[in-house]
Structure 1
Amino acid sequence: MALLLAGDIGGTKTILRLVEAQVDQTETAKSSLFEQRYVSRDFPDLVPMVEKFLQEAQQATGQSFAPEKACFGIAGPVVNNTSKVTNVGWMLEGDRLSEQLSIPKVSLINDFAAIGYGILALEPTDLHVLQQGQPKENAPIAVIGAGTGLGQGYLVHDGTAYQVFESEGGHADFAPRTELEFQMSRYLLDKLNIERISVERIVSGQGIIAIYQFLRDRDFAKESPEIAEIMHTWNSEIGREKTVDPAAAISQAALEQRDHLSEKTMQMFIDAYGAEAGNQALKLLPYGGLYIAGGIAAKVLPLMEEGSFVRSFQLKGRMRSLMEQVPIQIVLNPQVGLIGAALCASRL
């Protein structure tokens, strides 16, 4: 059996996993012979990280490992099997990695392409249904996920299997729908001195902070001392490594219903999230399902369940009946990208 190496590469952390290829590729993707997590900035390049990983795998298991295929999901664009991991300054080329690591086949894919592969191997327990819809066999599938940024991707069935495609749809224009959203858009244009607002500036972790700042500066509600202190620390660390996460603090305060400003922030965030997911669905008609991944949705599941996401998703005028047919599920398994990288490797 072939030995596969899968990786989930981010600017902060990288997870590597060794798996053994099986006849059932979905089972291959979920199996693990050895797995390790590393701080990306601790290494000048992916090569020494993988070398250390293989050494640690040998020490832990007593076996020597020589992967035959590898796939790495990367948080950023991939062009011609090449990608720059901006936060750590890595320039990764599949051919170079193959040569230096002695792995015959190496594929680099976008992190949301990896998630696209990963959802093909998920179990029902890995998912939470927001809208049952009317699923259709072999219909297109959409993937969207807010985290540090806003990732999007899609899958199309070719008659034999699903083919996975990445997208940079998160950088499309933000489309305000309410007076408050129009005010927020103008606020951000002026504050940031930019010409346009991408949807990622609103539907992401940075978007939660931006919405909060807008509401705070418009005196929507009084700022709590706790969040104020976190925001002050975050602002003072601009240009340096962050020690606080305002988006997480705002989300938690909203979940616990102990801060009106945070609750309104998350309401606007989820409304915008649902609207953008609906925009994606209009373009793809993903009756195979729309899957919500990323680092935020699963963490604020009660807020996602309250209904405003689905209402905004469905609010597409005469197309509402089509939107009601799209199955919507939240991905609960945080390793979906790693699973996807392994599945992609098995197909090389």
Structure 2
Amino acid sequence: MATLVLLCHRHGRAGRLHMDMLSADIGGTQSRFFRFSCEDREISIKEGMVLSSRASTFDALLEELFSKWPDGGKTLKGVSVLIFAAAGPVREGRVVMTNASFAVDAAVAKARFPWAECLVMNDFEAQAWACCTPVMEQAENLLPGGRAGRSFGVSALLRGRAPAAVIGAGTGLGAAWLIPGEGRPFVLPSEAGHVPFPFEGKQERDFADFMSARRGGAEVSAEHVLSGSGLALLHEYLGGAPEKPAVFTRTPGFASSECCRCFARFYGRFCRMAALALLPECVVLTGGVAGKTPALVRHEAFAGEFLRARGGQKTFLEGVPVWLNAHPQAGLWGAARAGAAFAEKMGIGRS
């Protein structure tokens, strides 16, 4: 999934950050565009629209945006800064979309918006920035980490020294780290989903061989396991019919099935590895897999695997809260927050 933020021209009272932003979540199937307003550091969501991502080129998608925007594109003509986030590593201002026919390209945007500044970032940065937005008020606390009964504390997180590890299984497996820093946090993207997955025991290694055979003998990465396609292959390996997760996860009894238990264990293992590697303040799960089927991370096998350690490692893990952010617009809000932070840093929107 890719995300785009458009920051509009600055205006307003002296010393205040005042502007409009257009945040767009660009996926392989749909592209959602929503306008946000920003008053100092406070952002709020306004109107929006959804377009198909079947455009032949990225430029064609932007042209369609102008032609179908409610006011004929008038509010888009004041855009001064473009910030793109797309699934995959950024290479010279360009990211090739894996599930769409076009590439998110700063040069293409510059041709469409010649007056604007263009930046490109990894899409999971937006999911990490979402931790600094109101969507986290609805987050579910899966593991309290010694903080039972408390809501997600954005202020405490940003005042601390440890990062938030943001992990999400969806079409692929994304991971990014929200780093606090003197009142101005920043995000480190990663390609952690492409590390080899550590299978354990004969059953798991047999499943690894099954997955590898489906991939022509290639090594199995964490993303191959912790994704919608990985969940579908796990279901098939355990004796289910070849079908999409949207079908079998809705059947009665799925939450207590072997498929749910195994996937929950795999997810918990990856989160444990990330937690021990980064020593985070918290772990935040996002993405469509857990968002659409929360049973996959509510299962006791997830908690059991996340906490499977000894001594000081176990003590540390028991103190790490794990949250589920299933808000459907998390990427949009995160992109808008990233845009506001960028504008503040660059002095855009100040008068």
TM-score normalised over the length of structure 1: 0.82
Residue 31 of structure 1 pairs with residue 48 of structure 2: no
Deviations 1:91-139 (A, max 9, x none): 3322441342245222222221111111211345420001111576422
Residue 40 of structure 1 pairs with residue 53 of structure 2: yes
Aligned counterparts, 1:196-215, within 5 A: 196-215=219-238
Inter-partner Cα distance in structure 1 for 2:76 and 2:324: 38
The 1:304–1:91 alpha-carbon spacing in structure 2 relative to 1, beyond 3 Å, is closer
The 1:209–1:60 alpha-carbon spacing in structure 2 relative to 1, beyond 3 Å, is same
Please report how far the alpha carbon of residue 294 of structure 1 lies from its aligned counterpart in structure 2 after TM superposition: 0.5
Question: How many residues are matched?
Answer: 313
Residue 178 of structure 1 pairs with residue 195 of structure 2: no
TM-score normalised over the length of structure 2: 0.81
Aligned equivalent of 1:316: 309
Residue 50 of structure 1 pairs with residue 50 of structure 2: no
Residue 247 of structure 1 pairs with residue 264 of structure 2: no
Gaps of 5+ in 1: 217-222, 232-244
The 1:332–1:291 alpha-carbon spacing in structure 2 relative to 1, beyond 3 Å, is same
Amino acid at match of 1:73: A
Aligned equivalent of 1:220: none
Amino acid at match of 1:297: A
Gaps of 5+ in 2: 1-17, 148-156, 343-351
Deviations 1:276-305 (A, max 9, x none): 011111111111x21100001122224422
Please report how far the alpha carbon of residue 258 of structure 1 lies from its aligned counterpart in structure 2 after TM superposition: 6.4
Aligned counterparts, 1:324-335, within 5 A: 324-335=318-329
Residue 292 of structure 1 pairs with residue 285 of structure 2: yes
Residue in structure 1 matching 2:258, options 264, 268, 281: 264
Q: Whose helix fraction is larger, Structure 1's or Structure 2's?
A: 1
Aligned equivalent of 2:26: 9
Inter-partner Cα distance in structure 2 for 1:339 and 1:259: 30
SS at the partner of 1:196? Answer: coil
Deviations 1:247-269 (A, max 9, x none): 1222212xx21698xx2112111
Please report how far the alpha carbon of residue 65 of structure 1 lies from its aligned counterpart in structure 2 after TM superposition: 4.4
Inter-partner Cα distance in structure 2 for 1:19 and 1:55: 20
Aligned equivalent of 2:4: none
Residue 94 of structure 1 pairs with residue 94 of structure 2: no
**Residue 254 of structure 2 contacts residue 260 of structure 2 at CA under 8 Å; is this kept in 1?**
no
Aligned equivalent of 2:150: none
Inter-partner Cα distance in structure 2 for 1:46 and 1:21: 27
The 1:18–1:191 alpha-carbon spacing in structure 2 relative to 1, beyond 3 Å, is closer
Inter-partner Cα distance in structure 2 for 1:107 and 1:299: 31
Aligned equivalent of 2:153: none
- Cα-Cα RMSD: 2.4
Aligned equivalent of 2:274: 280
